[in-house]
């Protein structure tokens, strides 16, 4: 099968770029130093490549992601890095022999974990991003409360999400340090072997966390590309030019195939004007029937719109030569962790 | 089943608001004056309610929408209001006895229609939105070219998408007039019974088109709410507060359950700060475990993230009384037209 045979819009992954990203990260953060976040790709086949690269623990954002990873045989060491008030489905996974550690940041979530049959928790600590996470000074009290309910407190987590996207490396590093100082204070009070944090933007600076929760590095997006990281854009939305005019052309991908919270996607050598539900208008004009590669601004909500990833050999070489349709489709992976 | 039994995030629809919207529109544009656009909801059960309200023709944006509508027994009169270069799947639907008219705006799309087994086309005309659509002066030539290939040219379509969202009604009306004057000029040259156009923002002004392609009116969103239309917000993302702090709370819905191209969603009485993949941070704080209703800024790409709609009795009455969890779930409809 060739790229030209794919219907559009489709998600396509350049094999070489993807493999480079996996190797680059596993060299920087070998084995358990990385706990890949599956929310970025929602694909157990992709997670399997991360497992084969030496990372046997995974981070999940939803119950469904935990269930899907367990069903795929990748449930030996999962962290649900999110608060949950109905933990019964997680309790069932634990009963079946999978390991799922759950984040807690309040009395309510501690009680929900115990009530739902969860055995292990991390105390989620606010390290500066106004989202989940308890006050660092409240972490010890929550840990005690969890232990009194019979839960094993495995440590702490804290996500410096407010700094992972800063484009100046020194500012990211400084912000990461400030956040991790808060997390280390909580870690000392809480105890336990795990200090979990970090992301693709701070993986190289975050030497405090025992494990880094990066996910976007595997496929990348144009927001992370601005940071000058050693990862390559691996995923693209393949689209067909369906209309062309004097000054602009229209491709058949739009708001339902692209996460838009970080703004418009990009096309190399073109100027993206705007997206509609099933259209992307860009300049200059291009002949009808041409195939274009569109780079998403934010990988996570883009992947969540699609049900499969096509792995393509020499996709970018072909694109550079304007013959993207000739590149070979090597494999197709289901994006099987969608939903909740 | 009660709303309190639903896992979150979930899409919930207030039955009364939805029925009001359907009735209001079918009173304004009875029967064939409205060709409801299914891209806004991607749900054949919802389309069935539009059919029962008297609208037997539908507008689709994708081949998958056409196939799903046909499979649901709603394929007697479909318009694929979009350009397609591989029409074979549409040709199969036509062979099976469904009616699917396809938009064309170039020699390439005319030939694709003929080659794929399509019998009927509309000439798509550029009426001011820089997207698909031929120059009005080229419409007659394209129609002739289509007829020479044996296609039946049923008329024209033109979407005034650049004016449907203008918040001042007089500006919307004036913009609609300018667009429809262009479309009428093309219609005279092309011939055929159909002049298709319009949307929820211009349905009340567009007296030129023989049929209006509105879709958002059925469920609504906060962008269209700014226009002062007689439709009520019917769809909401139901979310659970999973974390709460001094100044803010966090609900368990985010970028993967909300179309974000029109900006942040809204919560009545609250200030939405930002969305992350699975989180929505807002103020003021609210107790953990509370259920909140989140209004999407753009309905179409929001629905495309979800696989079902829960129809709820007296949802908004319950929400006003802070007991949203007690409202009864009357029915669950699959969002079965997703994908391509």
CATH topology of domain B18-219: TIM Barrel (3.20.20)
Q: How far apart are CA B292 and CA A95, in angstroms?
A: 31
Question: What is the predicted pLDDT for the residue at B308?
Answer: 98
CATH topology of domain A17-220: TIM Barrel (3.20.20)
Chain segment A250-260, per-residue pLDDT in tens: 999 999 999 99
Question: What is the predicted pLDDT for the residue at A323?
Answer: 76
Question: What is the predicted pLDDT for the residue at B101?
Answer: 98
How many other C-beta atoms are found inside a 10 Å radius of the C-beta of residue A257?
Answer: 28
User: Taking a C-beta distance cutoff of 8 angstroms, is the pair A214, A269 a contact?
Assistant: no
Residue of A nearest to B135 (CA): A245
User: Taking a C-beta distance cutoff of 8 angstroms, is the pair B251, B276 a contact?
Assistant: no
- How far is residue B184 CA from its own chain's centroid? 24
Distances (CA, A) of B167 to B81, B200, B203, B225: 25, 12, 14, 9
**If you search the block for the tokens 């144009």, which residue do you land on?**
A222
List all residues 6 or more positions away from B223 whose beta carbon is below 8 Å from its beta carbon.
Answer: B165, B262, B297, B298
Chain segment B207-220, per-residue pLDDT in tens: 999 999 999 999 99
Helix (H/G/I), strand (E/B), else coil: A51: helix
Residue of A nearest to B4 (CA): A86
- Using a CB-CB cut-off of 8 Å, the residues of chain A touching B126 are 245
| Shortest distance, CA A116 to any CA of chain B (angstroms) | 15
**If you search the block for the tokens 């990385």, which residue do you land on?**
A34
| Shortest distance, CA B63 to any CA of chain A (angstroms) | 11
- Using a CB-CB cut-off of 8 Å, the residues of chain B touching A105 are 243
Residue of A nearest to B39 (CA): A277
Position B140 pLDDT exceeds 90: yes
Chain segment B61-87, per-residue pLDDT in tens: 999 999 999 999 999 999 999 999 999
ipTM: 0.97
Question: Which residue of B7, B105, B279 is in closest CB contact with A243?
Answer: B105
Question: Which residue of B260, B273, B300 is in closest CB contact with A277?
Answer: B300
Local confidence band at A64 (pLDDT 50, 70, 90 cut-offs): very high
Local confidence band at A315 (pLDDT 50, 70, 90 cut-offs): very high
Picking from B111-125, B160-174, B317-331, which range would have the lowest pLDDT averaged per residue? B317-331
- Under an 8 A CB cutoff, do B255 and A130 touch? no
Structure tokens at A297: 């601004």
Q: What angle do CA B174, B176, B181 make, to 5 degrees?
A: 100
Question: Which residue of A108, A131, A248 is in closest CB contact with B289?
Answer: A108
- Using a CB-CB cut-off of 8 Å, the residues of chain B touching A305 are 304-305
- Mean per-residue pLDDT of chain B: 97
- Under an 8 A CB cutoff, do A252 and B82 touch? yes
Residue of A nearest to B8 (CA): A340
Structure tokens at B33: 């004056």
| Shortest distance, CA B302 to any CA of chain A (angstroms) | 9
* Residue of A126, A243, A244 best to disrupt the B interface, most CBs of B under 10 A: A243
- How far is residue A172 CA from its own chain's centroid? 19
| Shortest distance, CA A287 to any CA of chain B (angstroms) | 10
Question: What is the predicted pLDDT for the residue at A318?
Answer: 83
Chain segment B248-307, per-residue pLDDT in tens: 999 999 999 999 999 999 999 999 999 999 999 999 999 999 999 999 999 999 999 999
Q: How far apart are CA A24 and CA A22, in angstroms?
A: 6
Local confidence band at B319 (pLDDT 50, 70, 90 cut-offs): confident
Question: Which residue of B7, B273, B301 is in closest CB contact with A340?
Answer: B7
Question: Which residue of B82, B83, B305 is in closest CB contact with A305?
Answer: B305
Position A38 pLDDT exceeds 80: yes
Local confidence band at A162 (pLDDT 50, 70, 90 cut-offs): very high
Local confidence band at A337 (pLDDT 50, 70, 90 cut-offs): very high
Residue of A nearest to B250 (CA): A131
Chain segment A131-143, per-residue pLDDT in tens: 999 999 999 999 9
Task: Provide the number of CB pairs (under 8 Å) joining chain A to chain B.
Answer: 133
| Shortest distance, CA A241 to any CA of chain B (angstroms) | 9
B107 closest CA partner among A289, A119, A1: A289
Helix axes B44-52, B15-28, angle to 10 degrees: 50
Local confidence band at B318 (pLDDT 50, 70, 90 cut-offs): confident
- Under an 8 A CB cutoff, do A243 and B305 touch? no
Local confidence band at A320 (pLDDT 50, 70, 90 cut-offs): confident
User: Taking a C-beta distance cutoff of 8 angstroms, is the pair A139, A85 a contact?
Assistant: no
* Extended strands (E) in chain A: 10-14, 58-60, 78-80, 100-104, 120-124, 152-158, 194-197, 211-212, 235-244, 249-251, 271-276, 279-283, 291-294, 308-313, 328-334
Question: What is the predicted pLDDT for the residue at B22?
Answer: 98
- Under an 8 A CB cutoff, do B245 and A130 touch? yes
Chain segment A47-62, per-residue pLDDT in tens: 999 999 999 999 999 9
Question: What is the predicted pLDDT for the residue at B163?
Answer: 96
Question: What is the predicted pLDDT for the residue at A317?
Answer: 86
Report the percent of chain A where pLDDT is more than 90. Answer: 96
User: Taking a C-beta distance cutoff of 8 angstroms, is the pair B55, B31 a contact?
Assistant: yes
- Under an 8 A CB cutoff, do A242 and B82 touch? yes
H/E stretch holding A91 reads helix A88-95
Distances (CA, A) of B69 to A55, A331, B57, B88, B313: 44, 31, 11, 17, 27
- Using a CB-CB cut-off of 8 Å, the residues of chain A touching B298 are 255
Largest CA distance in chain A: 71
Any idea what DSSP says for residue A164?
A: T
Chain segment A203-217, per-residue pLDDT in tens: 999 999 999 999 999
Q: Where in chain B is the domain with CATH 3.20.20.10?
A: 18-219
Structure tokens at B29: 């544009």
Question: Which residue of B126, B273, B275 is in closest CB contact with A261?
Answer: B275
Position B26 pLDDT exceeds 90: yes
Position A308 pLDDT exceeds 80: yes
Question: Which residue of B62, B255, B261 is in closest CB contact with A275?
Answer: B261
Position B320 pLDDT exceeds 90: no
Q: How far apart are CA B242 and CA B253, in angstroms?
A: 10
Question: Which residue of B8, B242, B277 is in closest CB contact with A132?
Answer: B242
Q: How far apart are CA B117 and CA B97, in angstroms?
A: 12
- Using a CB-CB cut-off of 8 Å, the residues of chain A touching B243 are 83, 105-106, 109, 131-133
Q: Where in chain A is the domain with CATH 3.20.20.10?
A: 17-220
Position A46 pLDDT exceeds 90: yes
Residue of A nearest to B129 (CA): A281
- Under an 8 A CB cutoff, do A243 and B109 touch? yes
Q: Where in chain B is the domain with CATH 2.40.37.20?
A: 3-12+230-334
Structure tokens at A104: 């807690």
Strand pairing category for B328-334 and A328-334? unpaired
Local confidence band at A294 (pLDDT 50, 70, 90 cut-offs): very high
For B171, phi then psi, to 5°, come to: -70, -40
Any idea what DSSP says for residue A266?
A: B
User: Taking a C-beta distance cutoff of 8 angstroms, is the pair B58, B66 a contact?
Assistant: no
- Using a CB-CB cut-off of 8 Å, the residues of chain A touching B161 are 276
Burial of B222 (0-12, 13-18, 19+ CB in 10 A): middle
- Under an 8 A CB cutoff, do A277 and B301 touch? yes
Structure tokens at A173: 């590093």
Q: How far apart are CA A146 and CA A46, in angstroms?
A: 34
Q: Average pLDDT for residues A214-235, to the nearest whole number?
A: 98
Question: What is the predicted pLDDT for the residue at A324?
Answer: 85
Question: What is the predicted pLDDT for the residue at A65?
Answer: 98
Q: Reduce the secondary structure of chain B to three states and give it as a string.
A: CEHHHCCCCEEEEEHHHHHHHHHHHHHHCCHHHECCEHHHCCCHHHHHHHHHCCCCCEEECCHHHHHHHHHCCCCCCEEECCCCCCCHHHHHHHHCCCCEEEEECCHHHHHHHHHHCCCEEEEEECCCCCCCCECHHHHHHHHHHHHHCCCEEEEEEECCCCCCCCCCHHHHHHHHHHHHHHHHHHHHHHCCCEEEECCCCCCCCCCCCCEECCCHHHCCCHHHHCCCCCCCCCEEEEEEEEEECCCCEEECCCCCCCCCCCCCCECCCCEEEEECCCCEEEECCCCCCCEEEEECCCHHHHHCCCCEEEEEECHHHHHHCCCHHHCEEEEEEECCCCCC
Position A321 pLDDT exceeds 80: no
Q: Average pLDDT for residues B146-151, to the nearest whole number?
A: 98
List all residues 6 or more positions away from B339 whose beta carbon is below 8 Å from its beta carbon.
Answer: A307, B62, B64
User: Taking a C-beta distance cutoff of 8 angstroms, is the pair A62, A40 a contact?
Assistant: no
- Under an 8 A CB cutoff, do A82 and B278 touch? yes
- Using a CB-CB cut-off of 8 Å, the residues of chain A touching B85 are 240, 242, 288-289
| Cα end-to-end distance, chain B, whole Å | 33
- The CATH label, of 3.30.70.100, 3.30.360.10, 3.40.50.620, 2.40.37.20, for the domain at B3-12+230-334 is 2.40.37.20
């Amino acid at each position: 099968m060739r790229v030209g045979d794919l219907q559009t819009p489709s998600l396509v992954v350049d094999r070489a770029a993807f493999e480079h990203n996996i190797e680059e990260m596993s060299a920087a953060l070998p084995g358990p130093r990385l706990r890949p976040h599956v929310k970025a790709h929602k694909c157990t086949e992709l997670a399997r490549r991360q497992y084969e690269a030496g990372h046997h623990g995974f981070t999940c954002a939803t119950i469904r992601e935990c269930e899907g990873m367990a069903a795929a045989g990748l449930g030996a060491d999962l962290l649900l890095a999110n608060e949950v008030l109905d933990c019964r489905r997680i309790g069932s996974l634990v009963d079946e022999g999978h390991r799922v550690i759950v984040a807690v940041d309040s009395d309510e979530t501690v009680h929900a974990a115990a009530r739902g049959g969860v055995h292990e928790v991390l105390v989620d600590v606010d390290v500066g991003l106004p989202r989940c996470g308890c006050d660092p000074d409240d972490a010890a009290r929550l840990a005690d409360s969890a232990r009194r309910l019979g839960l094993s407190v495995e440590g702490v987590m804290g996500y410096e999400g407010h700094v992972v996207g800063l484009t100046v490396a020194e500012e990211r590093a400084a912000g990461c340090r400030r956040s991790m100082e808060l997390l280390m204070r909580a870690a000392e009070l809480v105890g336990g072997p795990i200090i979990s944090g970090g992301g693709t933007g701070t993986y190289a600076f975050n030497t405090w966390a025992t494990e880094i929760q990066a996910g976007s590095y595997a496929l990348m997006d144009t927001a992370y590309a601005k940071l000058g990281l050693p990862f390559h854009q691996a995923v693209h939305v393949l689209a067909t030019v369906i209309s062309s005019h004097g000054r602009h052309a229209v491709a058949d991908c739009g708001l339902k195939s692209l996460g838009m919270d970080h703004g418009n996607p990009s096309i190399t050598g073109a100027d993206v004007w705007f997206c509609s539900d099933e259209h992307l208008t860009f300049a200059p004009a291009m002949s009808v029937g041409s195939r274009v590669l569109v780079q998403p601004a934010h990988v996570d909500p883009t992947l969540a719109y699609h049900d499969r990833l096509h792995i393509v050999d020499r996709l970018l070489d072909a694109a550079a030569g304007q013959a993207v349709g000739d590149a070979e489709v090597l494999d197709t992976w289901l994006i099987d962790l969608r939903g909740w």
